[in-house]
Amino acid sequence: MTQHFKALISLFILHSTCTIALGFVETEKSRQLGLEDFRRTEEYYQECLSIKSLVILGAYKADCYTNYHHFNSDASRYYEGKGGKSWIEMSAFNLWHPGAKSTTYKDYELVAKMMNSYDLVAALELLPSVGRDYEHNQRVRKFVDETPAVIAELEERYSQSPRENIAERLERLRSDLKVAPTLYRLPDYLVLLNELRKLDPSWALILAPSGEAADEGFVQEIVGFFYRGRSVRPKVNEHCERFKKKRHGISFACYPKLTNSWLGKSAREVFSRRPFLGSFESGDFDFTLITSHIVFRAPADEGGMERVLMPSFGVKDYLELGPGANSRNYARLAEMKIITEIMERLRAESNEKDVIFLGDTNLEYNNEQWSKILESFPGGELFVDGPTTLTMPLQLSDGSFTNGVASDYDHIIMDTTETNECLKSNGQLSPRIGNFLQGNLKKLIHKRYLYRKPGVLEADPLAEQKRANLLSKFREKLEKRLTIKRNKVVVDDLEIEDTMREFDERVFLSQLTSDNYYRFYKEVISDHFPIYFSCKR
């Protein structure tokens, strides 16, 4: 832990102590969460700086702050104002953990082509560098930081006693030091951004300042806003500006303040992953978006139910909520209840009345509790009632066909009396689902990855060469991968055979089984479909 970080932690503890002295209600759990939020924000800030200095360099402008990270941050230079098209498309897309070992085979070129249909995407389930990539990046960072001193020491020794072994080591270290920065592996949200920028260089990303998880043992997820700078640009958010701190950037985005001093209650411990908000403008239309991936599992710890239900619904047990609430979903209901309260609070205190929620709620459209949740955001309506998640099997146990779809978890909430820019000529919002099992994207996926005969659980002999070519290209990519071991740049040959076998099984051979009939769509895109709607500029 650096001295700088220790000093920051001390300041945070002092702030917490002062907060208690001032009489604000704060539990031990919320103080622990606050300290953990602070620690993670600092870690992600340092990772952003590493990415900026080692990889991005001058490719595009990147800003690292503690309220958000901004990649291609001068994309507003492309902004066309009221020029160009008269409508923008806004979307929410759960991208299913890009960068995790379980999503190694995601095709970012295809994902980017899909997202390029929109102008602003609330992206969920993004990840920082994790697992072996994280460990690799730590070694790269350490090698880049420490090797110059090692070289200087060896040069001094060589000047006093020239020896061949010292000269050889110096040559190897100098060569490896030139290569090492290029080995830093980008988080996959930036791999996706790079693919988007190939299609339109004005694509940019405002990313939440830290990842969060339902439990410390779970992967930390990040959310963010991909936006097309040509048609959308960030705008100062009044809430973020009100609580601006040192090392914050322009107040485009932030986590909302979940304290008694703003919300009238301490609500941090309700959330496993806090919602993230940002403001944007496009032509004459300006708006605030709030996005979140709502928790799926209920708290397992003793007292967890009361901890999340009291601040949200004022009850201790989900049984008091009535129909629609159960032991599995009460934490989801609690998070959404506080989010609608946040939306109303933002609208009440701000000149900005267009406040829109876009995200994965893990709640079905027909849940009876939605009416109670929406009471906290008067005028707010829930949209999207069709299936937004992918399922793997061809058929259910009763023999009925799944058509590859399952639950309707992804939704939009807005007050269309305020946000009438998003209404069609018939006075209705027209939300849609980007089902990639249909249409042109399906054709693109099939052209590249379909291995079975259409509608039959048999391999297509005509697709064997396609499969072989993709496997060969993937192996070539893995065999060229380098890493740092024992202070040397070496080939990273770990798990190549296992990775190749999994690629074949999950992307190609799974297509020949009824239980995993639709799996390859998940492997190359996601297990969710994007939802989207249009708004007049």
Instruction: Classify burial at 498, counting beta carbons within 10 Å of its beta carbon; exposed 0-12, middle 13-18, buried 19 or more.
Output: exposed
In 168-275, beta strands by DSSP E: 203-207, 222-228, 233-235, 253-254
Cβ neighbors of 353 (< 8 A, separation 6 or more) are 347, 418, 419
Tell me how far apart the alpha carbons of residues 155 and 162 are, in angstroms, rounded to a whole number.
9
Cα four-point dihedral sign 443, 448, 451, 457: negative
Distance CA 72, CA 61 (A): 5
Close Cβ partners of 157 (under 8 Å, ≥ 6 residues apart): 166
Report the candidate in 124, 122, 117, 123 with the shortest Cα–Cα distance to residue 88: 117
pLDDT tens per residue across span 282-316: 999 999 999 999 999 999 888 999 999 999 999 99
Beta strands 410-414 and 222-228, pairing class: unpaired
Q: What is the pLDDT of residue 130?
A: 92
Q: What is the pLDDT of residue 26?
A: 58
192: enclosing H helix or E strand: helix 188-199
Structural tokens at position 470 = 């993709």
**Dihedral sign computed on CA atoms, order 365, 352, 350, 288:** positive
Q: What percent of the chain stands above pLDDT 70? A: 95
Predicted confidence band of residue 323 (pLDDT cuts 50, 70, 90): very high
Pairing of strands 285-293, 355-360: parallel
The superfamily in CATH containing domain 3-129+185-442+525-536 is Endonuclease/exonuclease/phosphatase (3.60.10.10)
User: Which residues have C-beta within 8 Å of that of residue 466, sequence separation ≥ 6?
Assistant: 448, 451
Decide if 361 contacts 389 (C-beta within 8 A).
no
Q: 286 forms bridges with which residues in the sheet?
A: 281
Tokens 């379980």 appear where?
Answer: 102
Residues 473-497 have pLDDT tens digits of: 999 999 999 999 999 999 998 899 9
* DSSP code for 422: G
Alpha helices (runs of H) in 209-365, residue ranges in sequence order: 238-242, 260-263, 304-313, 330-349
Q: Is residue 208 within 8 Å of 261, Cβ to Cβ?
A: no
Q: Which has the closest alpha carbon to 31: 386, 265, 199, 269?
A: 269
pLDDT in tens, 216-247: 778 899 999 999 999 999 999 999 999 999 99
Residue 6 binned pLDDT confidence (cut-offs 50, 70, 90): very low
Which has the minimum average pLDDT: 81-85, 273-277, 406-410?
81-85
The β-bridge partners of 429 are 423
Cα–Cα distance for residue pair 330/296, rounded to 1 Å = 10
User: Could you tell me the two tokens for 307?
Assistant: 């901890």
Q: Distance between CA atoms of 5 and 179, rounded to whole angstroms?
A: 30
Half-sphere exposure of 333 (CA within 13 A, CB side): 28
Which structure tokens are listed for 275?
């919602």
Rounded to an integer, what distance in angstroms lies between the CA atom of residue 527 and that of residue 81? 35
Q: Residue 7 pLDDT > 80, yes or no?
A: no
Interval 335-373: pLDDT, tens: 999 999 999 999 999 999 999 999 999 999 999 999 999
Contact 69, 44 (CB under 8 A): yes
Q: At 256, which amino acid appears?
A: P
Is residue 107 within 8 Å of 463, Cβ to Cβ?
no
Q: What's the rounded Cα separation, in Å, for the pair 56 and 71?
A: 9
Pick the closest to residue 376 from 404, 346, 406, 401 (CA basis): 346
Asked if residue 356 lies in contact with residue 535, where contact means CB atoms within 8 angstroms, the answer is: no
pLDDT band, very low/low/confident/very high, at 168 (cuts 50, 70, 90): very high
Q: Let me know: does 366 contact 385? Beta carbons within 8 Å.
A: yes
This prediction's pTM: 0.93
Strands (E), 303-430: 355-360, 381-383, 410-414
Average model confidence (pLDDT) across the chain = 93
- The pLDDT value recorded for residue 30 is 74
Provide the edge-to-edge strand list for the sheet that holds 69-71: 62-64, 69-71, 203-207, 222-228, 120-126, 87-94, 531-536, 432-433
CA-CA distance, 273 to 222, in Å (whole number)?
Answer: 9
Structure tokens at 195: 């693919």
Torsion sign across C-alpha atoms 214, 217, 218, 220: positive
* Closest listed residue to residue 293, CA positions, set 66, 92, 37, 434: 92
